[in-house]
Amino acid sequence: MGIMHYKDTKRSYEGFWKNDQRCGQGFEVYSNGSIYLGNFANGKADGVGTYTSKDGTETYVGQWV
């Protein structure tokens, strides 16, 4: 479990890690202010998760591959 703040951006990730990659449940805030909350595998969104745009007008809840 840990937090990563990406250098020179507003992007951050808080959640579980395995072999220096995001893995398991996590929360990511992208540079543009959008948010993803859900599962990760091999450093990418994978499994059930929710993406919400910065202004909240777009939301996707479902399976990520």
Average pLDDT value for residue range 58-63: 97
Note whether 32 and 14 are within 8 A (CB): no
Quick one: 65 exposed, middle or buried, by C-beta within 10 A (0-12, 13-18, 19+)?
Answer: exposed
H/E element, 25? strand 21-29
| Each residue's pLDDT tens digit, 21-47 | 999 999 999 999 999 999 999 999 999
- Residue 8: per-residue pLDDT: 84
- Residue 32: per-residue pLDDT: 93
- Residue 64: per-residue pLDDT: 95
- Residue 49: per-residue pLDDT: 98
**Whole-angstrom Cα distance, residue 35 to residue 56?**
10
Quick one: 41 exposed, middle or buried, by C-beta within 10 A (0-12, 13-18, 19+)?
Answer: middle
Kindly report the average pLDDT of the chain as a whole number.
95
